[in-house]
């Protein structure tokens, strides 16, 4: 039985901690603290990492790590990206500039994406339909990334598992 490391990133409030909690077989490890950034309406924010585990049908285990969203924690992005087999980027269509957010993460994790695989999950797209999947796809392509982009509700286990499946399918086809 093998263990693999998978990384989830994306802007603050996109639902990374929620997504990991939704699919983890064990109680997730969470490093959230009081949010002092008055520009974001959120009580708590992840500053270290999130961690969960997911047993796959073949007996392998996925160790799932979540990054802090804010760019000031980019040193944690580097640490957490080491050894990962793939990246899920969760975006939030309700932020002021979801395209810029997406491009920031694709650029910051370009080394990991180039050697592994990537899936993009778009959050809150029902309440905020713009930008469309097509527009996000063009934005990703502009950063040299061609990968599946799907709407996701990070609270829904099945939807988060779909992102994991899409990522693993890409890796298997390599």
Binding site for other proteins (CB under 8 A): 29-40, 45-49, 68, 70, 72-73, 75-76
Nearer to other proteins, 27 or 59 (CB): 27
Shortest reach from residue 84's CB to other proteins, in Å:
18
Give backbone dihedrals phi and psi of 31, rounded to 5 degrees, phi first: -120, 60
Residue 79 Cβ vs other proteins, minimum distance, rounded to whole Å: 9
Taking the complex as a whole, how short is the minimal distance between the CB of residue 11 and other proteins, in angstroms? 13
110-135 as b/e, with b when 16 or more CB fall inside 10 Å?
Answer: eebbeebbbbbbbbbbeeeeebeeee
Q: Which of 126, 131, 121 is nearest to 163 (CA)?
A: 121
The backbone torsions φ and ψ at residue 40, rounded to the nearest 5 degrees and listed phi first, read -125, 125
Name which of 30 and 162 has its Cβ closer to other proteins: 30
Beta carbon nearer to other proteins, 39 or 58: 39
**DSSP string of 81-123, one letter each residue:** HTTEEEEEEEEETTSS-HHHHHHHHHHHTHHHHHHS-EEEEEE
Residue 97 CB, shortest distance to other proteins, in Å, is: 16
Q: Which is nearer to other proteins, 33 or 55 (CB)?
A: 33
């Amino acid at each position: 039985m093998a263990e693999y490391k998978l990384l989830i990133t994306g802007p603050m409030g996109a639902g990374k901690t929620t997504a990991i909690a939704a699919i983890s077989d064990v109680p997730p490890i969470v490093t959230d603290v009081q949010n002092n950034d008055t520009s974001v309406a959120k009580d708590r924010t992840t500053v270290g990492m999130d961690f969960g585990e997911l047993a796959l049908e073949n007996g392998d285990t996925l160790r799932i790590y979540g990054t802090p969203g804010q760019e000031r924690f980019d040193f944690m992005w580097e640490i957490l990206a080491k050894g990962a087999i793939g990246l899920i980027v969760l975006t939030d269509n309700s932020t002021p500039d979801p395209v810029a957010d997406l491009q920031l993460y694709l650029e910051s994790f370009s080394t990991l994406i180039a050697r592994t695989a990537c899936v993009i999950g778009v959050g809150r797209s029902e309440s905020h339909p713009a930008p469309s999947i097509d527009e996000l796809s063009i934005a990703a392509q502009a950063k040299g990334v061609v990968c599946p982009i799907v709407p996701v509700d990070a609270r829904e286990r099945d939807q988060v598992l779909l992102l994991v499946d899409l990522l693993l399918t890409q890796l298997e086809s390599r």
